[in-house]
Every structure is written in C-alpha cells, then in structure tokens.
C-alpha cells in the first residue's frame, strides 16, 4: 500500500513554493505525485494527501527543538490552495482561515492531519475525486515454550469517503511462522 513520504532538509516556510522545496519534490524523495505506485501497479491513480515533516536540532541553531509533524502533500496543498500560516504544521485557506493542521503542534497526543471538511469535500466534488485511507497492521504472537503457536495476525484494508460517509472494510489473516 502507498505510504506518506518524509520531508527533511527544507524549512517549513519553504513548502511548497521555494526552489529548495522544488529541488526535492520528486518520486526519488518519496513524492510520486499522481501515480499507480510504481512496481505495484495499482488499479487506480492515487496521490498522497499527507507527508511527515521532520526538522532536527543541529549545530547551526536554525531549529531550537526537533519537530516531527504531519503536513499536507503538495498535491493536497495545491488542490486546497493552502498557504503556510507562519506556525509549524498549520496551513490556511486563501482567506487566511486555518484549514489544515497537525494537532500535536498545540497539544500532546498522536499525530494526525486534520482538515476542514467543507474545503476537502468541495475540492473532491469539483475534481471528481475520492478520499481513500489505507490500513496496514500486524500483531505477532510468540510463546517461548510452544513451537506451533508462533505467528502473526496481518491486517489490511481500505476505506473511502463516499456519499453515505466512510465506507470500506478490513481483512485479517493469521500466518504461522
């Protein structure tokens, strides 16, 4: 399944317009744009909606504390016409209203990318697109004294935002080691 890319080496304020960002905006650096996901040749063309931004504190003192947040992908940013707000992980709509952000920027908790529903639904409808989530997971079972009990529960699935809300399903399969 496609996975979000990680963006490093570019300052937050340089997304998505600056030459520094444009130099690394390619499939080699994890941003394939619209694609069928390379060798996997998916049945539909997909684009990532999120990326992970990582800036680590270094010797040049340009970053006070390391930061790791979810940000919109260039495809999503262009589609929603987002502009960086001046705060890490926060992007505004063309009217200057907060549109997309990672809540870990303002409070502790799991990272995510939250977007205003009205903007996303309008963009999807205007472009004839669907929002899709992929799910991958696994849970290993290992017992020290039992040879036959070792294995892994593998989970995968896909969901989409449809006319009746979120639609999709999960699949699970137990695989012995």
Please indicate, yes or no, whether the overall pTM of this predicted structure exceeds 0.85. Answer: no
- The set of residues, in sequence order, having a beta carbon less than 8 Å from that of 65 and lying 6+ positions away, is 57
The predicted structure's pLDDT at residue 133: 85
Sheet of 151-162, strand order? 132-141, 151-162, 165-176
What's the rounded Cα separation, in Å, for the pair 127 and 72?
18
Q: Are 14 and 84 in contact (CB under 8 A)?
A: no
Q: How confident is the model at residue 164 (pLDDT cuts 50, 70, 90)?
A: confident
The predicted structure's pLDDT at residue 102: 93
> Considering Cα of 68, then 74, then 79, then 82, what sign does the dihedral take?
positive
């Amino acid at each position: 399944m496609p996975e979000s890319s990680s963006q490093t080496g570019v300052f937050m304020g340089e997304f998505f317009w600056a030459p520094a960002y444009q130099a690394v905006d390619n499939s080699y650096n994890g941003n394939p744009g619209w694609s069928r996901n390379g060798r996997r040749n998916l049945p539909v063309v997909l684009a990532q909606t999120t990326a992970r931004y990582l800036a680590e504190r270094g010797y040049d003192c340009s970053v006070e504390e390391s930061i790791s947040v979810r940000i919109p992908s260039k495809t999503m940013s262009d589609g929603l016409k987002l502009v960086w707000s001046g705060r890490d992980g926060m992007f505004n709509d063309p009217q200057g209203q907060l549109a997309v952000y990672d809540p870990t920027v303002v409070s502790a908790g799991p990272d995510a990318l939250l977007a205003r529903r009205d903007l996303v639904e309008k963009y999807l409808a205007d472009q004839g697109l669907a929002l899709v989530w992929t799910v991958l997971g696994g849970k290993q079972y290992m017992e020290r004294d039992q040879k036959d009990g070792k294995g892994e529960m593998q989970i995968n699935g896909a969901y989409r935002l449809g006319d009746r809300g979120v639609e999709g399903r999960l699949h699970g399969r137990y695989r012995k080691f």
